[in-house]
């Protein structure tokens, strides 16, 4: 398992902050990854679920992303771009296993660049 410093240098280019009160999850809605509808779809088509999980694992492996079974893991996350004045400039809500779409990545990059100016 990666330590905090190894994680920071391996995946991020700046400081890594912890959120023990889970305030960011509250801002993002604290939505569960699994819903009754999603579980129902998985039960109706287990082969599709297996294929999607396999594809997700292959994408993580290709990007050299290591996972672990620590933490919550059942709550959707996302990306918040917050200015130094505590203004939320951009919000992206996670769709687990799908990554960040290119159009959304461009918006996130633009929001970060607006802070750097």
Q: Where are the domains of the chain?
A: 4-116
Per-residue pLDDT of the chain (117 residues; tens, 9 = 90+): 445 555 555 566 666 677 888 888 888 888 887 777 777 777 888 888 888 888 878 887 887 877 665 666 678 888 899 898 989 999 999 887 777 889 999 999 999 999 887
Name 52's Cβ contacts closer than 8 Å, sequence gap at least 6. 97
Hey, CA dihedral for 45, 99, 86, 22, is it positive or negative? positive
The model's pTM is: 0.66
Angle of CA points 98, 77, 21, to nearest 5°:
165
């Amino acid at each position: 398992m990666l330590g905090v410093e190894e994680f920071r240098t391996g995946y991020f280019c700046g400081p890594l902050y912890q959120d023990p009160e889970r305030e960011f999850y509250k801002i993002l809605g604290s939505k569960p990854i699994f819903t009754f509808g999603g579980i129902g779809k998985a039960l109706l088509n287990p082969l599709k679920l297996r294929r999607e999980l396999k594809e997700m694992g292959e994408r993580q492996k290709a990007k050299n992303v290591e996972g672990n079974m620590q933490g919550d893991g059942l709550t959707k996350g996302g990306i918040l771009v917050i200015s130094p004045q505590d203004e939320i400039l951009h919000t992206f809500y996670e769709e687990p296993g799908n990554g960040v779409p290119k159009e959304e990545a461009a918006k996130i990059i633009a929001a970060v660049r607006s802070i750097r100016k």
